[in-house]
Structure 1
Amino acid sequence: MKRIGIYAGKNLLRIILLLFAVSILTFALVSASPIDPLQANVGQAALGSMSKEQKEKLRSYWGVDEPPVQRYLNWLNAFIKGDGGISLLYRQPVTKVIAVKLGNSLFLMGLAWVVSGLVGFLLGVIAGVFQGRLPDKIIKGYSLVIASTPSFWLALLLLIIFGVWMKILPIGLSVPIGVEASGVTFLDRVRHAILPAVTLSITGISNITLHTREKMIDIMESDYILFAKARGEKTGSIILRHGIRNVLLPAMTLQFASVSEIIGGSVLVEQVFSYPGLGQAAVAAGTGSDVPLLMGITLITAAIVFLGNFLANVLYGVVDPRIRKGGLGL
């Protein structure tokens, strides 16, 4: 247990250092952006009609005149104290904005993550068992096509079919239009999350399917599977007792590592469906040079990705004693 704690502590320290590096890189990229935050958010016409004093106050509010290094140190000092700053677009604390957006995104990405993992694993097992036959060819062909399909194109296609032509699902947003927050039900949120969640699930299935298929093929061609067949063990029993048990661990690890793909895909999908999550807020913050909000969103998403990879490594060590002994020095 002591060495497991040391292992977890080292990984936690590594995550903190990575987040620090991400914050520096993000701030540098935003500072190098040619976008003028005043013009982007106030408008050229309104900016031209302001007096010199008003412009100076506005530039001071946005921190345009301060050197980039000073602005970063000011942000870092406040962030360490638990203050993420005020969003320049929403005029609210960054923590409050992110809390609302993150809740929407986690609901959406959680559905997509679970569905893509379960379906991808099932398809991968089927393809591996029926290697070279019709089910394998269909599943493999589908996975290769989906892997090369842009998520925004698939989102637009699903939106046109189910939202415009068939009119059986909402075309966007996370709640019905014109309904107060107190009147929104859980089923309303689910209906509005179906299309974006299905889009993310479809695009996330291919990698897990193809990876599980290759592992399943290796297992089905292994010596102990051939020995089980020679003993007269039925195919169904072989798959359940030997195949799935041995392929579950790498598939589970890949599933946790796929968090970054889900987050990356959600940015484009949320834009297509006007879904008010972290992805849409990140695009608005980037185009509007809302540095405090963009920094907060970047660090939150990076932390989720790093945490997913960390859990994958720990889970691998807990399930497989050989990995635990080698990786943790036990």
Structure 2
Amino acid sequence: MKKRKNLVYESIRMVILLFLVSLLAFVLIASSPIDPLVSYIGTESTLSAEAKAEIVEYWGLDAPLPQRFMTWLNNIFHGDMGNSITYKKPVATVIGERFSYSFVLMMISWLISGLIGVVLGIICGLRQGGIFDRIIKLFCLITKSAPTFWLGLMFLVVFAVWLKLFPIGMAVPMGNLASEVTLGDYIYHLILPAITLSVVSMGEIVLYTRQQVVEILNSDFILYAKTRGENIGQIVKRHILRNVLLPAITIQFSSFSELFGGMALAENVFAYPGIGTATTAAALNADAPLLMGVALISAVFVFSGNMIANVLYGVCDPRIREAGLNE
């Protein structure tokens, strides 16, 4: 019953946060120098003043800001996110086409960073103070502090330009018809962006898992397990994995926001046709409808990850769940 209440509480909070993010994004875009009319007709338009006035009235651009926001919100509930000025398509179509690329990139990077991060963290914890531990810790600190775009550029220069092991960018080979593109082509073009994003997001989970393993190894029940004759393999399987995996998964879900931000930068570095490159194009072309759509969808994705993390926190530690319900 309490778990159900916690889930309902998190869902309500997510809806409230989405509303506030939508309101803030709408106000910021409406207050910016972006002129929706100029963005729509272009700076060199020869339309008459009467024609411009008709467009303003048709789109409701002369309405008060609260009314415009409620109209936009009502359209969202009916599945209408407006039309992209940049791509000349419905915003929902643009996001749908590009989100599939971004989602695959994020999920692969999320899984790789999580799996390798936990393994490296356990090894470092078991070999605390050793050469391997020091090297991995230094590597994690460097990758955590290095900007995503800089790391992506380094990988691009080394592995694509110098060594020519991977393509320079894009999601498919240039000049090929859609019918000629194979699954291998998609995977080949995905490897370098996925590695970049995985390396950037791996540091936190490695350091967290390492610290957890060190604390577990110094606990009394591990000493008792050793006196019973358990070897290191049995200790890892019976005690370390059981106490490390769920908190590590929780940390991974809570890192969705950082992963999403890193993904946007990585996509621009590798010219990968995802949400990140669409956002950049929308910003450069003052495409307000697409900017609003991306803000809403990215908020849904990030808040969903945070909600899952909060629920898992409650599973890991019931005291957290009780504190959340008593607020």
Shared fold per TM-score greater than 0.5: yes
In 2, Cα distance between the equivalents of 1:182 and 1:325? 55
Q: 1:29 to 1:321 in 2, by over 3 A?
A: closer
Amino acid of the residue matched to residue 194 of structure 1?
A: I
Say whether residues 1:24 and 2:23 are aligned partners. Answer: yes
The answer to whether the 8 Å contact 2:36/2:288 transfers is: no
Say whether residues 1:279 and 2:279 are aligned partners. Answer: no
Residue of structure 2 in register with 1:33 after alignment: 32
Q: 1:171 to 1:105 in 2, by over 3 A?
A: same
Measure how far apart 1:294 and its partner are. Answer: 1.6
Out of 128, 132, 139, the residue aligned to residue 131 of structure 1 is 128
Q: 1:28-107 to 2 correspondence within 5 Å?
A: 28-37=27-36, 44=43, 46-47=44-45, 51-53=48-50, 55-56=52-53, 64-107=61-104
Residue of structure 2 in register with 1:10 after alignment: 9
The answer to whether the 8 Å contact 1:30/1:289 transfers is: no
Residue of structure 2 in register with 1:192 after alignment: 189
Report the secondary structure of 2:83's partner residue. Answer: coil
Alignment coverage as a number of residue pairs = 326
Out of 98, 105, 108, the residue aligned to residue 105 of structure 2 is 108
In 2, Cα distance between the equivalents of 1:37 and 1:171? 35
Measure how far apart 1:43 and its partner are. Answer: 5.5
Q: 1:285-300 to 2 correspondence within 5 Å?
A: 285-300=282-297
In 2, Cα distance between the equivalents of 1:223 and 1:56? 77
Report the secondary structure of 1:69's partner residue. Answer: helix
Measure how far apart 1:315 and its partner are. Answer: 3.5
Residue of structure 2 in register with 1:153 after alignment: 150
More off after superposition, 70-79 vs 101-110: 70-79
More off after superposition, 98-107 vs 310-319: 310-319
Unaligned runs of 5+ in 1: none
Residue of structure 2 in register with 1:177 after alignment: 174
Unaligned runs of 5+ in 2: none
Amino acid of the residue matched to residue 103 of structure 2?
A: L
Measure how far apart 1:238 and its partner are. Answer: 1.2
The answer to whether the 8 Å contact 1:129/1:216 transfers is: yes
Residue of structure 1 in register with 2:263 after alignment: 266
The answer to whether the 8 Å contact 1:172/1:273 transfers is: yes
Amino acid of the residue matched to residue 128 of structure 2?
A: Q
The answer to whether the 8 Å contact 1:23/1:299 transfers is: yes
The answer to whether the 8 Å contact 2:39/2:287 transfers is: no
Measure how far apart 1:84 and its partner are. Answer: 1.5
The answer to whether the 8 Å contact 1:41/1:288 transfers is: no
In 2, Cα distance between the equivalents of 1:273 and 1:60? 41
What TM-score do the two structures reach when normalised by structure 1? 0.90
Residue of structure 2 in register with 1:165 after alignment: 162
More off after superposition, 204-213 vs 286-295: 286-295
Measure how far apart 1:79 and its partner are. Answer: 0.9
What TM-score do the two structures reach when normalised by structure 2? 0.91
In 2, Cα distance between the equivalents of 1:278 and 1:126? 36
Measure how far apart 1:17 and its partner are. Answer: 0.7
In 1, Cα distance between the equivalents of 2:132 and 2:22? 46
In 2, Cα distance between the equivalents of 1:36 and 1:266? 29
Report the secondary structure of 1:170's partner residue. Answer: coil
Q: 1:163 to 1:314 in 2, by over 3 A?
A: same
Residue identity (%):
48
In 1, Cα distance between the equivalents of 2:217 and 2:57? 67
Measure how far apart 1:236 and its partner are. Answer: 2.0
Say whether residues 1:244 and 2:241 are aligned partners. Answer: yes
In 2, Cα distance between the equivalents of 1:60 and 1:151? 44
More off after superposition, 282-291 vs 241-250: 282-291
The answer to whether the 8 Å contact 1:101/1:278 transfers is: yes
Measure how far apart 1:126 and its partner are. Answer: 1.0
In 2, Cα distance between the equivalents of 1:254 and 1:154? 23
Measure how far apart 1:32 and its partner are. Answer: 2.2
Amino acid of the residue matched to residue 21 of structure 1?
A: L
